Chains A and B, each alone.
With several copies, the nearest count.
Chain A
């Protein structure tokens, strides 16, 4: 009997080592896997590359992870936001590397990574500084930039319900990057508000099938 439910967030972090690339779900605070991030900070693996839409705000979650000094580089679309002073200070002090990627390109690169494509031509950012130095091509009269997949060692995401096969549902706009991050990483850890018995999730309503999920951690709702 296969059971992907892991006892604790701490245990789920045990395979994460120095130098790992980790996708972290969430858009602002919605869908941010706060408890998994706390456990990752505890884990204290160093030299991490983090891929997430934002770079954290305030003194919790992603921001705290950056503050912990574990992160060498962050790939995101929108680092500067309300209360993102931890990132801002690290960046201005040259203590963290930043790769800014348009939000749709971030999503498309993860989807390319998850689906085994080698590269994609996207029209986004053509002719701007985010395309500088990148290969371009005109196809049917439209200009495109060549972008490469994002694949990661781990994904930490937040879902709503999960079962022992790793099937997941999400809640409202907290879904955001969860499903595509799950597919783009070798080892996906999902924190869920509820663990349900196999068969409770309607096969028509499962958003992320268990094939993309390796560990499910129950956290207080």
Chain B
């Protein structure tokens, strides 16, 4: 029996949101990362960017107010904040590739201890590759945070020494938020910032495929 409860996606999203400062330009990847938007503070100006040419995304539209021309990168209906803007794909990826996005939050299949990421291609013979903007974000954003389960469906670690899956971004991840812990990727190694209540560092290490450093005391 576990003596701890893993964080829910909402809880992870809240932790990510807490680490986003006023004035930051942020791109939230498709899937779990989209949730982060729900936990951003209302009283701070934080700018959400979408690859398809939107800066200053607002909340979901109310029913009946959806506009087919106003969607995010995940093709969900969105709204635009006062002060937001539209632009073409060239300018949108100038923002991404040119280092103007302060932070992107991505999902991942695996992250290696050096910050390598595998996040959109499993490499199985029948898989259809579909990269979207994932690689540009991994390379271009000033900081890359990953949000994912700590272990996969079979219980195998998703944080590893070396990627087993095809690499989709080299040395780009700065921080990992899982349902068990928040971990910084540093030149000195993987430093644990925070853990789920009731989980011991030793237990966390057994669920992780790379060496962890306990840094929870100094955060």
Contacts and interface: CB of A to CB of B under 8 A. Distances in A.
Contacts of B100: 183, 211-212
Interface footprint category on A: 35 or more
A2 B45 contact: yes
A127 B112 CA distance: 14
Interface in A176-207: 176-180, 183, 198-199, 201, 203-204, 206-207
B130 A114 contact: no
Interface stretch (A41-49, A65-73, A102-110): A102-110
Interface string A163-185: 11101001111111111100100
Q: Which of A111, A124, A127, A174 has the most chain B CB atoms inside 10 A of its CB? A: A124
Interface string B139-168: 110000000000000000000000000111
A122 B97 contact: yes
Contacts of B123: 129
B88 A79 contact: no
Nearest to A131: B135
Nearest to A108: B93
B133 A206 contact: no
Contact of A172 (B69, B130, B132, B135): B69
A192 to B, nearest CB: 13
A1 interface: yes
Nearest to A110: B90
A81 B75 contact: yes
B131 A102 contact: yes
Given A92-B126, A100-B130, A126 B170 contact: yes
Interface string A1-31: 1100000000000000000000000011111
A201 B55 CA distance: 14
Interface string A128-155: 1110000000000001000000000000
B68 A30 contact: yes
A61 interface: no
B132 to A, nearest CB: 4
A211 B84 contact: no
A116 interface: yes
B88 A176 contact: yes
B185 interface: no
Contacts of B166: 128-129
A94 to B, nearest CB: 12
Contacts of A88: 128
Interface in B197-213: none
A178 B88 contact: yes
A127 B55 contact: no
B69 A115 contact: no
Nearest to B23: A2
Nearest to B45: A2
Contacts of B71: 27-28, 30, 173
A128 B87 contact: no
Contacts of B47: 165, 210-211
B50 A173 contact: yes
Interface of A: 1-2, 27-31, 53, 77-82, 87-88, 91-92, 98, 100-108, 110-111, 113-117, 122-130, 143, 163-165, 167, 170-180, 183, 198-199, 201, 203-204, 206-207, 209-212
9 contacts: A77-B130, A77-B131, A80-B128, A102-B131, A102-B136, A114-B98, A124-B135, A172-B54, A173-B71
